[in-house]
Amino acid sequence: MRAHIVDRQNFFTWLLPSCILAKNNNGRKRQIMNVNIELASNLAKVQTAIALSNLDSGRSKNSVTLIGVSKQQPNDRIEAVLSAGLRVFGENRVQEAERRWTKRRKLFSDLELHLIGPLQTNKARAAVRLFDVIQTVDRPRLAEALGRAMNAEEKNCVCYVQVNTGEEEQKAGVSPKETPNFVATCIEEFGLNIAGLMCIPPANDAPAPHFAFLKQMADDLGLQNVSMGMSADYPIAVELGATHVRVGSAIFGARHPLKSDS
């Protein structure tokens, strides 16, 4: 009888950690499911808002590309948005993007990656290797470095010129008056495939005049693409002619601290 009691004690001693582990696993599964549902809902809301803005402005439903800004987002949120069907993402930093997307490139052949943050010339080749589109071409030295990198990698990335529409001293981008000559230099001297313009309006300005200005400049230069509008103002950008909008928090929620596995 004593041996039977001991065996039962041993059994429960073995069972308790297993039950705790199973409970933790179930909790983790529920957490992942909740994140997936939340972010799929967020993505659907943004896509609906874009569609309504297209409708209001008389544009076709497929005239705007939604770029999910995934910088500083953890793996579970990246995976949730991928599972919801988004395949176009924007990143600010080359090294962070390499950690996040190099392996995923092999799993999702239809990924399209946009560099939307400042680029140092010594990172040009790494950027060309990873990204499909570089939206922040803003100075001759960078344009030259990108041209050399594309030749070395035998890859022709799509490029946008970043325009400093507010002419802010602290912000990257080409001044509006210098943009036409800079676009010509990028194409003729450095061989870049300049397909459009990008801007980030001043934080304290109404965005609409900046969006309208950038769209008119792109039209004047014969450029088809205009990247403008973020989470707070992308419907306005769509109504004013954006072909690409860069949306982060409206899809992913607040940014999270960087993790080594991101």
- What pLDDT is attached to residue 262? 36
pLDDT score of 2 more than 80:
no
The C-alpha angle with vertex 138 and arms to 133 and 142, in degrees rounded to 5, equals 80
Tens-place pLDDT, residues 99-140: 999 999 999 999 999 999 999 999 999 999 999 999 999 999
In a domain, 151, yes or no: yes
In a domain, 257, yes or no: no
Give residue-wise pLDDT tens across range 165-217.
Answer: 999 998 999 999 999 999 999 999 999 999 999 999 999 999 999 999 999 99
Query: CB–CB of 30/214 below 8 Å?
Result: no
Confidence class for position 33, pLDDT limits 50, 70, 90: confident
Per-residue pLDDT at 261: 39
Instruction: Reply yes or no on whether the pLDDT at 4 is more than 60.
Output: no
Q: How many helices (H) and strands (E) does the chain have?
A: 9, 8
- The pLDDT confidence band at residue 224, using thresholds 50, 70 and 90, is very high
Q: Does residue 108 lie in a domain region? A: yes
Query: The domain that contains 211 carries what CATH number?
Result: 3.20.20.10
Q: Rounded CA gap, 32 and 121, in Å?
A: 39
Residue 57 located in a structural domain: yes
Examine residue 53 and state whether it is found in any structural domain, yes or no.
yes
Q: Identify the three-state secondary structure at position 70.
A: coil
Q: What local confidence, expressed as pLDDT, does residue 130 receive?
A: 97
At 229 the pLDDT is: 97
Classify residue 159 as left (phi > 0), alpha (psi -120 to 50) or beta. beta
Q: Is residue 99 part of a domain?
A: yes
The residue to which tokens 């194409």 are assigned:
187
pLDDT digits (tens, 9 = 90+) for 15-31: 555 555 555 566 556 76
**Pair 119, 173: CB distance under 8 Å:** no
Quick one: DSSP state of residue 107? H
Rounded mean pLDDT of the chain?
A: 90
Q: Please count the structural domains in the chain.
A: 1
27 domain-assigned: yes
Residue 24 domain flag: yes
- Quote the domain boundaries for residue 246: 2-252
